[in-house]
């Protein structure tokens, strides 16, 4: 259910951004309604397919498809999730704080009223008695004056608790809460809270002793107790782990290891799979919750800094180059009516946000022999997508080595490194991060090798010297899984290269998607939506990986085939026309996979400088829009994800 909520929320957000195109693009009158929707869907999903040349759009329309991909970028979406979590937690803390304060104030007021009624009882007026009764009345008055001090007592009702004792809110484990066990307030102690705790004993009377004053009611102390209870609640809201009573018998192969990276935790705390803590005491929950909350706030600053920094870096690298570049590049921009500064900003953004739109009608073919922009834009393509988790972890690692060891910042950074998936969807542990790096290296190496080797005698590729050819092939390999920009005319490359690019587009999301699902703190063995009875042998990494791959294939393939079938049915007449070989089943299949993978590569058509979609009928264009929006969900986890959970969902 939680995954459905996330998908529906993202659907609503993406569709809303796509429909904004009717407000920001359509009023200019140079695009049809379906082309307007197509640009909206393509820009909001960062697909990069276009039915009209981007250079033919008005400047305001270009600005729209510049801003929207930034707002819907995967980095921005995850930053918004962190902001929402922090806001939600702070709001919950305030609510519980007000409740605790009001509860203490009520108790203090009632206690004061009871004390006043006892001590302020009217004393007998002995001054009005007659002198004849002097001795007798004096003795009686003395007895009445002594009586209140002998009988003074404060007795609380049976439903009152001793406010002097320190209280804590105990939140049961997720499994216990699913069974209906509520959040309760219990006596705070250093030991673990027993879920089968017996009912509290009836409160006893507290006698007021004239000499001992430590039982005096003070509002400051009561407020302090309330604040401490709220702090305890705040910390436990972040921590989902098992207490001692919840620990189950495990085999030696699945026995959790000792948590040595958090020395402030008690010795009995163990660390299970995917940063799941076990044997947590109430004090451990306070320590762990405080660290996690500080880590989340620090992570927000780091991710925002990364997002802004990478955009500034891209513009800073391309802007000076284009203003001092050789004449053949600047003349091409002048011919297309594109300003140098606008080209630098737009090219940087389209690579970082993996959009794929370019202001030049031939994509990046005119710049394929320019070494500096090819290097910079290739790096930006990786840094904005598949290498984002790798570089983000690298930034955190470097910061942890720079800051003072043992400081609060160092502790937060170390927590992010050791338990990344408790805080952020796209931050992985060390092992999966290295695996992700290895997979990306192999995929890109194979892709570059295929482009170079299979097109050794192809004039569309070998007209470049070997150095620029390799760099151009690397750019094309990166674009096949990210931006959808092109340095080669894909319609003229080797058919085997075309098929390899299609495969690369389809598996583009696999490295990150499988890393997300394999490292999900709550996607434990059963893997959420795929059944609670399917146990996995986690000791076999190949079996575990293949399980994820099979699930991904079953999730994807029928969408791709259904979309291809719908477009082929709509375009059957043109497909059957032998005079138009560029319009084939394979080219349509290539277009559908590109849309579903949110990549943007296209074999194009000789008659236009757009994607092949520009030649489709309105119904086929609508199908491509649906494929782009549906494909946006490929990277979501199967089940509940700790990094996107709010307070009320942590159960």
Task: Write down the pLDDT at residue 618.
Answer: 95
In a domain, 608, yes or no: yes
The C-alpha atoms of residue 598 and residue 610 are separated, in whole angstroms, by 16
Is the pLDDT reported for residue 226 higher than 70?
no
- Using the predicted structure, report yes or no on whether residue 261 has a pLDDT greater than 70: no
Given a cut of 90, whether residue 13 has pLDDT beyond it is: no
User: Residue 257: exposed, middle, or buried by beta-carbon count in 10 A (0-12, 13-18, 19+)?
Assistant: exposed
pLDDT, mean of residues 496-519? 83
- Side-chain half-sphere of 128: how many Cα atoms within 13 Å? 3
pLDDT per residue as tens digits for the range 551-585: 667 677 889 999 999 999 999 999 998 888 889 99
User: 606-639, pLDDT tens digit by residue?
Assistant: 888 899 999 999 999 999 999 999 988 776 554 4
136 or 59: which leads in pLDDT:
59
pLDDT of 648 strictly over 80? no
User: What is the predicted pLDDT for the residue at 357?
Assistant: 93
Q: Which residues contact 163 (CB under 8 A, 6 or more apart)?
A: 104, 107, 108, 111, 222, 225
**In this model, does residue 521 exceed pLDDT 80?**
no
Q: Give the C-alpha distances (Å, rounded to integers) separating 624 from 202, 308, 509, 562, 588.
A: 69, 32, 18, 11, 10
Give the chain's domain count. Answer: 1
Q: How far apart are CA 493 and CA 453, in angstroms?
A: 12
Looking at the predicted structure, is the pLDDT value of residue 14 above 80?
yes
Instruction: Give the span between the Cα atoms of 566 and 498, in whole angstroms.
Output: 22
Which residues pair with residue 92 across a beta bridge?
none
Read off φ and ψ for residue 637, nearest 5 degrees: -70, 155
* pLDDT on residue 294: 84
96 lies in a domain? no
| Per-residue model confidence (pLDDT) at position 420 | 86
Quote the domain boundaries for residue 367: 2-86+285-525+539-644
Average pLDDT estimate for 273-287: 46
What pLDDT shows up at residue 556?
78
Q: What is the torsion angle, in degrees rounded to the nearest 10, for the CA atoms of residue 363, residue 622, residue 616 and residue 44?
A: 0
Confidence at 304, pLDDT banded by 50, 70, 90: very high
Contact criterion met (CB below 8 Å) for 30 and 58: yes
With respect to residue 94, please indicate whether it lies within any of the assigned structural domains.
Answer: no
β-strand pairing of 277-278 with 167-170: unpaired
Q: Rounded CA gap, 97 and 231, in Å? A: 9
pLDDT of residue 98: 54
Give yes or no for residue 538 having a pLDDT over 50: no
User: Has this prediction a pTM greater than 0.85?
Assistant: no
Between vectors from CA 84 to CA 80 and to CA 89, what angle results, nearest 5°? 150
Per-residue confidence (pLDDT) for residue 179, from 0 to 100: 58
Segment 34-46 mean pLDDT: 95
Residue 153's φ and ψ, nearest 5 degrees, are -155, 145
Write down the pLDDT at residue 225: 46
Query: Of 19, 44, 46, 54, which Cα lies nearest the Cα of 33?
Result: 19
pLDDT of residue 211 exceeding 60, the answer is: no
Say if 240 falls within a structural domain.
no
Query: Mind listing the pLDDT tens digit for each residue in 349-360?
Result: 999 998 989 999
What mean pLDDT is predicted for residues 338-349? Answer: 95
Q: What is the pLDDT of residue 119?
A: 43
Residue 517's pLDDT is what?
67
Q: What percent of the chain has pLDDT over 70?
A: 60
* 171, pLDDT greater than 80: no
In this prediction, residue 527 carries a pLDDT of 32
């Amino acid at each position: 259910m939680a995954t459905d909520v996330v998908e529906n929320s993202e659907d609503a957000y993406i569709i809303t951004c796509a429909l904004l195109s009717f407000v920001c693009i359509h009023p200019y009158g140079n695009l049809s309604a379906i082309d307007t929707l197509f640009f909206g869907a393509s820009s909001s999903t960062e697909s990069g397919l276009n039915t009209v040349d981007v250079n033919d759009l008005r400047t305001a329309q270009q600005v729209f498809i510049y801003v929207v991909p930034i707002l819907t970028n995967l980095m921005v979406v995850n930053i918004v999730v962190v902001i929402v979590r922090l806001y939600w937690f702070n709001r919950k803390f305030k609510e519980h704080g007000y409740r605790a304060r009001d509860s203490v104030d009520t108790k203090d007021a009632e206690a004061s009223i009871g004390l006043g009624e006892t001590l302020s009882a009217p004393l007998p007026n002995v001054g009005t008695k007659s002198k004849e009764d002097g001795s007798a009345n004096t003795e009686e008055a003395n007895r009445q004056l002594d009586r209140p001090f002998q009988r003074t007592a404060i007795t609380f009702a049976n439903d009152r608790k001793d406010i002097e004792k320190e209280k804590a809110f105990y939140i049961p484990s997720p499994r216990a809460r699913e069974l209906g066990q509520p959040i309760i307030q219990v006596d705070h102690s250093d030991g673990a809270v027993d879920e089968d705790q017996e009912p509290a004993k009836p409160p006893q009377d507290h006698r007021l002793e004239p000499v001992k004053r430590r039982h005096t009611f003070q509002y400051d102390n009561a407020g302090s107790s309330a604040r401490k209870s709220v702090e305890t609640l705040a910390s436990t809201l972040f921590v989902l782990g098992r207490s001692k009573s919840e620990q189950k018998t495990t085999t030696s192969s699945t026995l959790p290891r000792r948590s040595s990276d958090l020395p402030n935790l008690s010795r009995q705390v163990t660390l299970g799979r995917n940063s799941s803590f076990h044997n947590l005491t109430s004090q451990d929950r306070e320590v762990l919750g405080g660290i996690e909350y500080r880590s989340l706030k620090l992570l927000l600053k780091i991710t925002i800094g990364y997002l802004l920094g990478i955009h500034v870096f891209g513009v800073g690298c391309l802007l000076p180059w284009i203003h001092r570049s050789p004449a053949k590049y600047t003349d091409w921009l002048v011919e297309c009516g594109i300003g140098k500064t606008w080209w630098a900003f737009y090219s940087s953004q389209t690579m970082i946000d993996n959009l794929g739109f370019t202001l030049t009608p031939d994509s990046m073919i005119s710049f394929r022999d320019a070494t500096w922009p090819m290097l910079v834009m290739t790096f930006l393509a990786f840094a904005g997508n598949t290498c984002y988790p790798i570089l983000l972890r690298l930034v955190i690692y470097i910061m942890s080595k720079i800051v003072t060891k043992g400081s609060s910042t160092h502790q937060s950074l170390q927590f992010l490194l050791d338990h990344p998936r408790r805080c952020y969807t796209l931050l992985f542990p060390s092992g999966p991060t290295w695996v992700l790096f290895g997979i990306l290296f192999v995929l890109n190496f194979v892709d570059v090798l295929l482009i170079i080797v299979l097109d050794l005698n192809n004039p569309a590729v070998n007209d470049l010297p070997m150095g620029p050819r390799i760099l151009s092939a690397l750019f094309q390999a990166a674009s096949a899984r990210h931006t959808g920009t092109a340095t080669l005319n894909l319609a003229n490359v080797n058919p085997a290269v075309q098929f390899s690019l299609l495969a690369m587009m389809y598996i583009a999301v696999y490295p990150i998607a499988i890393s997300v699902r394999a490292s999900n703190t709550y996607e434990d063995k059963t893997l959420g939506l795929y059944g609670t009875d399917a146990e996995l042998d986690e000791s076999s990494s190949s079996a575990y990986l293949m399980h994820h791959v099979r699930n991904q294939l079953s999730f994807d393939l029928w969408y791709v085939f259904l979309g291809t079938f719908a477009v082929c049915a709509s375009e059957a007449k043109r497909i059957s026309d032998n005079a138009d070989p560029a319009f084939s089943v394979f080219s349509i299949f290539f277009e559908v996979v590109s849309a579903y993978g949110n990549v943007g590569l296209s074999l194009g058509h000789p008659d236009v400088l757009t994607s092949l979609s520009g030649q489709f009928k309105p119904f086929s264009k609508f199908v491509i829009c649906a494929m782009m929006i549906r494909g946006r969900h490929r990277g979501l986890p199967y089940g509940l994800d700790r990094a996107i959970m709010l307070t009320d969902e942590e159960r």
